[in-house]
Amino acid sequence: MGGKEGKKSSETLKVNLISEESTAGFDEYLSFVPKPKASLLPDLRTRGIPYRILSVSYFIISILPLLDKNYFITCILVSLPFILYIVKGIMNKERRRVDFYPKIVVLICFLSIFLVSAYYTISDIANKSFKSKALSEFYCVLPDLFGKFSIDVDKEHFYNIAINLDPQNKESYFKKGMLYEKAKLIEKAENAYLLAIAGHSDSHQAYYRLACIYSLKGQDDKALDMLYRLFHINKKYAPAYNETASIYFRKGYVEKADELLGKAFNIDKNDYRNYHLKGNILLKKGNFSEALGAYSKAIELEPGISNLYFDKAQAQFKLGNFDGALFNIGKALEIDSKSYEYLYFKGIILLNQNVLDKSKECFNSSIRIKQDFILPKAGLALIELKQGKLKKSKDDIKAIVPDNCNVPEACFMKAYILKETQNYDEALKAIDAAIVRSPGTSEYYSLKAAILLDSGDKNKVEAIVNIAIKLNKSDYYAYFIKGNFLLQNNDYKNASIYFGLSTEYNPYFARAYAAKAFTEQKLDHEILSDDYMDMAIRIDPNDYYNYLIKSNVYSLRNKNIAAETARKKAAKLYDKGEQQLN
């Protein structure tokens, strides 16, 4: 009994020892076995939702795009919470364990689903032209983004897409109008701007561009209407005051234009357009030096606009600075080499400098660009006059410039040629037509005074020439005519002063030097007389007038043979003997 109990006890002890050893070994084994990782996804089972439902949902999300692209929006909406949760788990410092990298992998998977779904969703919206304002605005600004990287794109195509997505996107219509206007498609630009303001009374820029288009087309009333509407929206828009002032200036209301321009300056003192218009107003008033300063400031603010150089050249031309005028018209042509107006004006400058060959080239180039441009054709007739072809010059100018011509500068050139060919009545009609169309131009009054003086009607000469000088204190031709008037009244001293002023304002005007040579001879200044006479012939050796004056100078010195030689030279130059000198 006792033996059995002892045996049983020993067996029990043995089992216990084995059990303890086994347990110890198992615990030791367990210490080397990694613990189960936390779930990569939230454990939703504690909330009553089986984990399998989550797996099935993930599977459905994965295959939905294969079934129908319309489910991509659903994919986006379902994927986003998972992405946010995983990111939160990764960023949670307390939960960063060995499951960090698997979570990253799952995050990448969900992000891939999200991005692919977003891509196809946006493409689907674009293809089906959903009326999305956000997407419309995106397409509207996209060409500007490409432009910053110097990438050429079809801007009109993007604007059309933006308009299809949102027909109320006024910015797209406006930018489309700007695109058309830059391409000089004025009618299309006008239509685009009209659509931009349709139903949008706050689109002040569209009103402004429409006003500019109407102004360009000569529809000043429509332009002013657009500008007044603009002022109801925005009274601080400086370009609108500038454009309104430009219209009034063109209509002849110079003071009103100056007043409006002052308002533009009060708002914006750094807009080149304000200085440009200020220069034009000063030029109209005859303040050429101040106008020159205004143009220079405009060029400083915006050096890439050809018209600024053109107008600056005109101011310099009025001041008799032909070299400066030639330089600036050259700058204008560098920017716009196809401008027939710039080429014509360059020809006029060269004509006044007696560079006849280059002047002729400029006139012909201008005609090639615009065949119906009358002024360079009249300029060619002036060159013929300079070359001594008086009869041909007269015939050509009559054919080029009809009696009912409404271009004052063409009428002026016609009057000058007719005066030089002694057709005084016709010359007076032509110059009166020029004065009627442009009553503020000093050169027209100077020429009228010259015609009256040459025709023997001296009564109104001094009054008319004084008007010319009042309009333009730099009018070299007015001083020349005033000097001739005083010369005929035997006032040699004052005549010499006025001839000197004429040469000062136009150092290329040969006739003024010749006339001054005659007055200096009358004042017994023989050496000065010779100097001025040589200067006149050196500047223009083809003008009969210079040799006629030279003949008179020699006659005063009783050098009859030299006087006769000079007179014959004058007669020869006077249209090669086709007409007789009086």
Residue 206 has pLDDT above 60, yes or no: yes
Q: Would you say how long the chain is, in residues?
A: 582
Closest C-alpha to 411, from 392, 422, 397, 393: 397
Tell me, what's the pLDDT at 38? 44
Q: Percentage of the chain with pLDDT > 70?
A: 73
How high is the pLDDT of residue 363? Answer: 97
Residue 256 neighbours by CB distance under 10 Å = 15
CA distance 466 to 485: 12
Full 3-state SS string of 486-517: HHHCCCHHHHHHHHHHHHHHCCCCHHHHHHHH
User: Cα dist. 530→203, 220, 260, 303, 556 in Å?
Assistant: 70, 57, 54, 46, 13
Contact between 514 and 498 (Cβ < 8 Å): no
Q: How confident is the model at residue 40 (pLDDT cuts 50, 70, 90)?
A: very low
In this prediction, residue 90 carries a pLDDT of 57
pLDDT at 459: 87
Q: Whole-angstrom Cα distance, residue 523 to residue 519?
A: 6
* Tokens linked to 140: 């509207």
Q: How far is CA 439 from CA 252, 392, 443, 467, in A?
A: 10, 30, 10, 11
- pLDDT recorded at residue 337: 92
- Rounded mean pLDDT of the chain? 80
44 pLDDT more than 50: no
Q: Is 80 exceeded by the pLDDT of residue 447?
A: yes
Q: Say if residues 337 and 310 touch (Cβ distance below 8 Å).
A: no
Least confident residue range of 123-127, 294-298, 475-479, 539-543: 123-127
What does residue 422 show for φ and ψ, rounded to 5 degrees?
65, 30
CB 495 within 8 A of CB 487: yes
Q: Cα 214 vs. chain centroid, distance in angstroms?
A: 17
Average pLDDT value for residue range 538-562: 91
The pLDDT value recorded for residue 66 is 46
- pLDDT band at residue 575, thresholds of 50, 70 and 90? low
At residue 83, the pLDDT reads 57
500, 517 Cβ separation under 8 angstroms? no
pLDDT at 462 over 60: yes
- SS3 readout for 237-258: CHHHHHHHHHHHHHHCCHHHHH
pLDDT digits (tens, 9 = 90+) for 207-231: 888 899 998 888 989 999 999 888 8
Which pLDDT does position 251 carry in this prediction? 86
Rg (CA), the chain: 45
When comparing pLDDT for 571 and 358, which is higher?
Answer: 358
pLDDT the model gives residue 111:
62
For the cut 60, the answer to whether the pLDDT of residue 306 exceeds it is yes
pLDDT at 218: 86
Confidence of residue 425 (pLDDT cuts 50, 70, 90): very high
pLDDT at 125: 52
pLDDT on residue 117: 59
Q: Model confidence at 41, in pLDDT bands (50, 70, 90)?
A: very low
Mean per-residue pLDDT, 162-182? 80
pLDDT at 146 (0 to 100):
67
**Under CATH, to which class is 440-582 assigned?**
mainly alpha
Using alpha carbons, select from 399, 439, 437, 442 the residue that is nearest to residue 417: 399
Q: Which of 543, 544, 564, 568 is nearest to 555 (CA)?
A: 564
Residue 477 has pLDDT above 70, yes or no: yes
What is the number of other CB atoms lying within 10 angstroms of the CB of residue 143?
20
Q: What are the pLDDT digits (tens) for 521-541?
A: 999 999 999 999 999 999 988
Q: What is the pLDDT of residue 119?
A: 63
Instruction: Work out the average pLDDT over 244-252.
Output: 89
Q: Does residue 288 carry a pLDDT above 70? A: yes
What are 52's two structure tokens?
């399998």
Q: What is the mean pLDDT of residues 505-509?
A: 89
Task: State the pLDDT at residue 399.
Answer: 94
Q: HSE, CB side, 13 Å, CA atoms: give it for residue 286.
A: 14
Output 175 or 52, whichever has higher pLDDT. Answer: 175
- Is pLDDT larger for residue 202 or for residue 194? 194
For residue 518, CA distances in Å to 298, 511, 530, 557 come to 44, 11, 9, 11
Residue 102 CB neighbours (<10 A): 12
DSSP code for 350: H
Instruction: Write the pLDDT tens digit of every residue in 335-345.
Output: 999 999 999 99
For the cut 90, the answer to whether the pLDDT of residue 142 exceeds it is: no
- Token code pair at residue 337: 């080499």
pLDDT at 285: 83
Average pLDDT value for residue range 494-520: 93
The three state secondary structure string of 49-80 is: CCHHHHHHHHHHHHHHHHHCHHHHHHHHHHHH
- Predicted confidence at residue 200, as pLDDT, reads 58
pLDDT at 580 over 60: no
d(CA 312, CA 525) in angstroms, rounded, equals 39
389 residue type, one letter: K
Q: Give the mean pLDDT of 561-567.
A: 91
Residues 364-370 have a mean pLDDT of 96
Between 66-75, 432-441, 452-461, the lowest mean confidence (pLDDT) is in 66-75
Q: Check whether 252 has a pLDDT greater than 70.
A: yes
